[in-house]
Amino acid sequence: MTQATTKFHSLSSRIIWRFCLFTLFISAIYALISLSLMYNLEDSFIERGVKQEADYLSQSYATTGNWPAPRNARMQLAFSVDELPTDIRALVIEEPRRKEFFGNHGLHYHLYRFKDHPNTFLVAEVSEQLLVRPIRGGIIQFLVGSGVIVTVIACLIAWLIGRRTARPLSQLASLVDGVALDTLPRNFANDFPKNEVGILANALDHTLERIASAMERERSFTRDVSHELRTPLAVIKNAVEVAQLNASKAENQPLQRIYQAAEQMEKTVQTLLVLAREEYSVLNAQQIDLLPILERAILDNHLLLENKAIEVEIDDSCKVQVLAEPNVLKVILDNIIGNAFKYTLEGQVMISFADQVLLLSDTGPGIQANISATVTDRGVKGEQSTGLGFGLSIVKRLCEHQGWQLEVRSTSGTEVRLRFNS
């Protein structure tokens, strides 16, 4: 049965990309902090110079009663807002607590307000003292370039770490992926590091050990029970055949029922053996003629048609070859054809083939609506069934094992579709 493929993401790739994005984010934060620090240092040096000049002017005024001229030619005293440079005057009025102003033509001002003289200002034009702003573009290029280099180095380190981290997981996945049930790996946990991967490997090791043991117990039980049942079934059939030789017509009917039940049980035993044996795998499939196996299955189930007005029709389209393991296909056809013969009281059983699909339809009563969706599940059977509800379940398991698609529909009768691999 075809299954939708699931797309998986590489754990190593995720580690690398997340580490790289994290490094890029940290580099960007570091660049912003570095640029802000340079601006703050520049402003601190300028403000310290302005403060020293303001302290000198205040001390001179306190001593002489007159404001001296600033010692720095780029500083000037303003004794009212109107004496401030025109390009920053409006901003000083709007933002009285602001210290730094940008003027026209690239001029840059720092303003100091004297606490004891509210209307007196020391204005310092500091454009020539600016160190960071003139080379801001170069600084940004340097920070971006260094951030890229650091990110590349971090990605390389992350790639090495990611590969080393994900390698044990990849090895563990390869070890348990796609292994056959008879070759389940065992005792591999010690080959992995003693960390979370080792814990997972140890858990898988124990789980696979339990699965292997359970599968072996199931195979042994099925094989032993099947072999034990074949002998008494053979005895029953032989005894019935002998009894039928000397039986009257009235006695022959119950003997025939016993014989049919023994044959049905024999087919069930054969199916169990098919499920238990390892040699019936998809690897042993070959191109075989479909029609002879269909005819053999019909002949083996012909007793189910006695005293019934049923016409069995095999279309010429069945003269084809299919890719299958002969014994598995025979067991599947025995179950499907046997059900059609058993539950169809009159009418037709038609078999055809097209586009790798074997179609078997009958004119029987069909499947009850309440079980039509689950009729291939284990233990599900209709009111007319005399079995245990395992036949179609076993057929479904065999089809899944071979990669075939089984579909059971019910309208006026029952329609079974079996799609083979191309």
10-residue mean pLDDT profile of the chain (422 residues): values are 52 77 86 88 89 92 90 91 90 89 88 89 89 82 87 84 74 68 68 74 79 74 71 84 82 80 73 59 78 91 86 94 87 89 90 94 83 73 60 83 88 88 78
**Could you tell me the two tokens for 94?**
């709007």
Residue 101: CB atoms within 10 A of its CB come to 19
Residue written as tokens 């005894």?
A: 239
Q: What is the CATH number of domain 179-278?
A: 1.10.287.130
User: Domain 282-422 in CATH: superfamily?
Assistant: Histidine kinase-like ATPase, C-terminal domain (3.30.565.10)
pLDDT one-digit tens code per residue, 261-295: 787 677 667 666 666 655 455 556 789 999 999 99
Which single residue is written with the structure tokens 């054969």? 270
Note whether 124 and 101 are within 8 A (CB): no
Q: Write out the E strands in 98-257.
A: 100-102, 108-113, 121-125
CA-CA-CA-CA dihedral for 324, 330, 331, 333, to nearest 10 = 100
Task: Report CA-CA distances (Å) from 410 to 60, 97, 372.
Answer: 111, 88, 7
Q: Where are the alpha helices (DSSP H) in 65-85?
A: none
Residue 4 is predicted with a pLDDT of 45
Residues with Cβ within 8 Å of residue 189, at least 6 apart in sequence: 198, 201, 202, 204, 205
How far apart are the two ends of the chain, measured CA to CA in Å?
13
Any idea which residue has 């049919």 for tokens? 260
pLDDT at 178: 62
Residue 65 tokens read as 């009663």
Residue pointed to by tokens 């995720």? 14
Question: In angstroms, what CA-CA distances link 183 with 170, 176, 217, 224?
Answer: 19, 10, 15, 22
Query: Which pLDDT score is estimated for 322?
Result: 93
Q: Are 347 and 394 in contact (CB under 8 A)?
A: no
Q: What is the pLDDT of residue 2?
A: 41
The domain segmentation of the chain, as residue ranges, is 11-137, 179-278, 282-422
SS3 296: helix
Instruction: Take residue 152 and report the two structure tokens written for it.
Output: 């590349």
In the prediction, which pLDDT does 288 show?
A: 92
Give the per-residue pLDDT at 1: 39
List % helix, strand, coil for the chain (3-state, nearest 5). Answer: 60, 15, 25
One-letter amino acid for residue 201 of the chain: A
Q: Report the pLDDT value the prediction gives residue 3, as an integer from 0 to 100.
A: 44
223 in Cβ contact with 273 (< 8 Å): yes
146: CB partners within 8 A, 6+ apart: 27
CA distance 185 to 204: 10
Helix (H, G, I), strand (E, B) or coil at 285: coil
Give CA–CA dist 2/4, Å, rounded: 7
User: Nearest 5 degrees, angle CA 371-CA 404-CA 291?
Assistant: 100
